[in-house]
Amino acid sequence: MLHVHSALLATALASLASLSHAQCPFADVGNLAARAEGLSSRSHLADFEVDDSEGYMTSDVGGPIEDQEVLTAGERGPTLLEDFIFRQKITHFDHERVPERAVHARGAGAHGTFTSYGDYSNITAASFLGEAGKETPIFVRFSTVAGSRGSADTARDVHGFATRFYTDEGNFDIVGNNIPVFFIQSAIQFPDLIHAVKPSPDSEVPQAATAHDSAWDFFSQQSTTLHTLLWAMAGYGLPRSYRHMDGFGVHTYRLVTDDGTSRLVKWHFKSKQGRASLVWDEAQHLAGKNPDFHRRDLWDAIAAGHAPEWELAVQVVDEEAAAAWDFDLLDPTKIIPEELAPLQPLGLLRLDANPANYFAETEQVMFQPGHIVRGVDFSDDPLLQGRIFSYLDTQLNRHGGPNFEQLPINRPVAPVRNNNRDGAAQNLIHKNTAPYSPNTRNKGYPRQAGRDEGRGFFTDPNRKIASDSSLVRRRPQSFADHWSQPRLFYNSLTPVEQQLLIDAIRFEVSHVSPDIQENVLVQLNRISHDVAVRVASTLGLDAPAADPTYYHDNTTAGLSIMGEPLPSIATLHVGLLASHRVNGSVAQATALKEAFAAMDVTAAVVAETMGHGVDSTYAASDAVAFDGIVATNGLDVLLASKAKSPLYPTRRPAQIVEDGYHWGKPIGYMGSSAAARVAEGDGVYAVDSVDALVDAFKQGLATFKFTNRFALDEES
Ligand code: HDE
């Protein structure tokens, strides 16, 4: 029935979309069509949606009320306890919050669809991968880790990438990150890690940052952190948007076929938008200018009908071959280089619908690595094993009871039948009066499902434990090398990316105490003497003597972000600087905006005041808002060093161009504006026509960051 509704709506909107603009009663036909399409990916929530577009206000139990004045004893008298309307409204407000997530508190989510490319029953019995073209609704939540719910999106951090598949055989969650490794090898250390990176217990400083003693004290004492730390200090800690980052399941999982054959796998989500990062200075500006930068970017792209996409892929591992590798597959601080196990694509994720209510959907979604489906199984990775326990526990704390899976965003689309009963906020009315197994009173139902009956989980999951099964509290020797893979990562970056990574460590470690700085240098030196020397030079310290035990020159493919152009420039955003003081400038910016729109690149016309086709003012604009910047013909008047106006902060137009240049963005000068150019070189285009500019920007935006503008140590 619900499907019929959304199908009807989709048809109605599609026919609206086919009307010409003049006939259409709505202004933005494109967006309406996009919304209708999006609706299908969240149609399983439709039963729970509240539509207040008509009707009288009521109390929580349905009686019509007015709620703007309290009931008092006389106009100037005391408020009466009897005022149930007031008490209900205030009490509900007092209880509006649930505890924020202990980690990953800051995030944004969206709905969409996963489409399987094929029938993968040769590697898994999972039904959502069982047929080419099979569609499964999904919800993805992206996040930062350390900051509180109100912290800035662009804090340097590992980023969460949690995906729920509402499969026809139950919910399957891949609760992953945008970095393929993790800081620790065992779940028992997670509270230590988080206590170290969170703000200081006395002052609650700093927020959403790791440039403090406790974080680097822990990192330098716990060398398992080094690999993830290096990824976070590189561009992976500063994604341009959630859309421009990949996702990883991190742990080794298992896929199991119907006949019980089990294979080890790593999950990957490859961004179809490509990977792109900010630079640190830019990210810091954004934290103040637009703390919602990532959240808004995702929302706007989806609202405009530009659904972001990722390819789901797996590295399938041959266990016998893996036994010869020099790292352990159960160690979550290690990647499997793609040379050892190539990615096998499985299907496409497409996020095409924004939530209707942030709290109900994004805040209340409760992911768990323990949410798996038939055909997927765990490995013995000790970090994963601990997570299977922790997430259930944390959801009990956040929701306050065991019925959180009944919330609309958590409820599976597959039927739920079992003997779990009662508890706070029980939403269901169970009619079975024999809620136990085995029973005869309910004819034995609900029946037990197993591998061969009812498509259940495997009673015998075909997993073995090591033959030496004595109880121990120690880690295997195969987990002991914490330095070779960080070096592999570092070696695989371009020289500019290596420089930015070193600069990030310099920034962070400049904020910590000298004894901790010394400890950090010892660890960096085990990865690379060059890195240790370059960081030490900033700190005014001597690096330790080279410690070559783990030094090597190996590299692996696919880790550099800045070394590759973006596969698509669609939905990148360009600033078009114009002036009402210069004849034809706003008109030229408008022509550029239209030409960019034809390439699905959005653009904003900036001038001194709003009106006449201007989207933003210099008073409100900043280079951080744009992926590329164009100064229209005649703008040299505004860019001149003596140009002043009460309509914007001193030198703002010139500052936008200069910042954009220093942050590596493509810069265009039209006509005479080139007289005020900051510099020449790659990614700086001085042209006369709209066509020439747009043509140059195609390549400029795809390059994204012109890295030769960043200085390397040896050049200084
Ligand atoms: Fe989490 N993690 N984590 N984590 N994690 C949480 O669960 C935890 C780990 C990740 O958008 C919490 O619902 C432990 C690795 C994401 O809602 C909590 C350990 C990876 C999210 C928790 C880890 C992650 C969380 C906080 C070590 C990448 C946000 C609230 C054993 C593979 C999900 C919550 C969302 C959230 C515990 C390590 C990713 C406290 C104990 C490794 C993306 O349960």
Regarding the beta carbon of 253 and ligand 1, being less than 6 Å apart is answered no
ipTM passes above 0.95: yes
User: 448 C-alpha vs ligand 1 centroid, how far in Å?
Assistant: 31
Centre of ligand 1 from the C-alpha of residue 103, in Å: 7
- What does the pLDDT average to over 406-427? 97
* Best CA proximity match to 522, nearest among 538, 511, 513, 535: 535
* Amino acid letter, 522: V
Residue nearest to atom 32 of ligand 1 (CA): 176
Percent of the chain scoring above 90 in pLDDT: 91
Mean pLDDT score, 161-181: 98
User: What is the rounded distance in angstroms from the CA atom of residue 296 to the CA atom of residue 573?
Assistant: 13
pLDDT, tens only, 509-553: 999 999 999 999 999 999 999 999 999 999 999 999 999 999 999
Q: How far is the centre of ligand 1, averaged over its atoms, from the C-alpha of 697 (Å)?
A: 40
- Say what the pLDDT of residue 3 is: 39
Q: Per-residue pLDDT for 92 more than 90?
A: yes
Determine whether the shortest distance from the Cβ of 146 to ligand 1 is under 6 A.
no
Q: Which of 98, 100, 104, 188 to mutate to test the pocket of ligand 1 (most atoms within 8 A of CB)?
A: 104
Model confidence over 219-239: pLDDT tens digits?
999 999 999 999 999 999 999
* pLDDT at residue 14 greater than cutoff 80: no
Q: Ligand 1 mean position to 63 CA, how many Å?
A: 42
| Strand 262-271 versus strand 247-248 pairing type | antiparallel
Q: Is the CB of 230 within 6 Å of ligand 1?
A: no
Residue 715 main-chain phi, psi, to 5 deg: -85, -15
Q: Residue with the nearest Cα to atom 22 of ligand 1?
A: 391
Q: What is the pTM of this model?
A: 0.94
Angle at 346 between CA 343 and CA 349, to 5 degrees: 110
Which residue puts its alpha carbon closest to atom 7 of ligand 1? 391
Q: Is 391 annotated as a binding residue?
A: yes
In testing the pocket of ligand 1, which one of 141, 389, 390 has its CB within 8 Å of the most ligand atoms?
390
Percentage of the chain beyond pLDDT 70 is 94
Counting from 1 in the atom list of ligand 1, the atom nearest the Cα of 387 is 31
What residue owns the CA closest to ligand 1's atom 16?
A: 160
Mutate to test the pocket of ligand 1, among 98, 100, 101, 385 (most ligand atoms within 8 A of CB): 101
Give burial (CB, 10 Å; 0-12/13-18/19+) of 54.
Answer: exposed
Per-residue DSSP letters for 393-458? HHHHHHHSSTTGGGSTTT--SS----S----TT-------S--SSS-STTTTPSPP-BTTBTT---
**Which atom in ligand 1 lies closest to the alpha carbon of residue 191?**
41
Average pLDDT over the chain, rounded to whole? Answer: 93
Is the pLDDT at 96 greater than 50? The verdict is yes
Residues in the chain: 716
Gap between the Cα atoms of 49 and 353, Å rounded? 15
Q: Of 175, 183, 251, 361, which is best to mutate to test ligand 1, by the most ligand atoms within 8 angstroms of its C-beta?
A: 175
Q: Is residue 106 in contact with ligand 1, taking CB distance under 6 Å?
A: no
Instruction: Mark whether 104 is an active-site residue.
Output: yes
* Ligand 1 atom nearest residue 190's Cα: 27
Query: Does the CB atom of residue 502 touch ligand 1 within 6 A?
Result: no
Give the pLDDT confidence of 324-355 residue by residue, as tens digits: 999 999 999 999 999 999 999 999 999 999 99
* Across 679-707, average pLDDT: 97
367 CB near ligand 1 (under 6 Å): yes
pLDDT digits (tens, 9 = 90+) for 562-573: 999 999 999 999
Cβ of 390 below 6 Å from ligand 1: yes
Report how far ligand 1's centroid is from the alpha carbon of 142 (Å): 12
pLDDT at 23: 35
Residue 714 has what DSSP assignment?
Answer: G
Report pLDDT digits (tens) over 600-616: 999 999 999 999 999 99
Residue 45 Cβ inside 6 Å of ligand 1? The answer reads no
Q: How far apart are CA 189 and CA 185, in angstroms?
A: 8
CA distance 160 to 339: 26
Instruction: Return the residue whose CA atom lies nearest to atom 42 of ligand 1.
Output: 182
The reply to whether ligand 1 has any atom less than 6 angstroms from the CB of 190 is yes
Distance 478 CA to ligand 1 centre (A): 25
Catalytic residue (choose from 44, 104, 371, 482): 104
> What does the alpha-carbon distance between residue 700 and residue 684 come to, in Å, rounded to a whole number?
9
For residue 182, which atom of ligand 1 is closest to its CA?
Answer: 42
37: pLDDT confidence band, cut at 50, 70 and 90? very low
Q: Where are the strands (E) in 102-168, listed by range?
A: 107-116, 135-144, 159-167
Q: Are 171 and 163 spatial neighbours (Cβ–Cβ below 8 Å)?
A: no
Tokens of 323: 């036994």
State in Å: Cα 391 to ligand 1 middle.
Answer: 7
Phi and psi at residue 589, to the nearest 5°: -60, -40
Most ligand 1 atoms within 8 A of CB, residue of 391, 399, 404 to mutate: 391
Tell me: pLDDT of 25 over 60. Answer: no
Q: Residue 41 has what pLDDT?
A: 85
Is 250's C-beta closer than 6 angstroms to any atom of ligand 1? Answer: yes
Q: For position 12, what pLDDT does the model report?
A: 39
- Ligand 1 centroid, distance to 13 Cα (angstroms): 40
The Å distance, Cα 305 to ligand 1 centre, comes to 30
* CA-wise closest residue to 136 among 175, 171, 176, 174: 171
Ligand 1 atom, smallest distance to 393 CA: 44
Q: Look-up: residue for tokens 């980690």? A: 103
Q: How far apart are CA 210 and CA 156, in angstroms?
A: 8
Examine residue 206 and say whether the peptide bond preceding it is cis (omega within 30 degrees of 0).
yes
Q: How many CB atoms lie within 10 A of CB 560?
A: 17
Residue 715 pLDDT level (bands cut at 50, 70, 90): low
Catalytic member of 111, 159, 177, 212:
177
Token pair 């914490």 in the structure block, residue: 482
Digit-coded pLDDT (tens) for 119-149: 999 999 999 999 999 999 999 999 999 999 9
User: 685 with 702: CB under 8 angstroms?
Assistant: no
How far, in Å, is the centroid of ligand 1 from the Cα of 102?
A: 9
Which residue has the least CA distance to atom 43 on ligand 1?
Answer: 160
Q: Is the CB of 102 under 6 A from ligand 1?
A: yes
177 a catalytic residue: yes
DSSP result, 609-642: SSBTTB-EETTT--GGG-SEEEEPTTTHHHHSTT
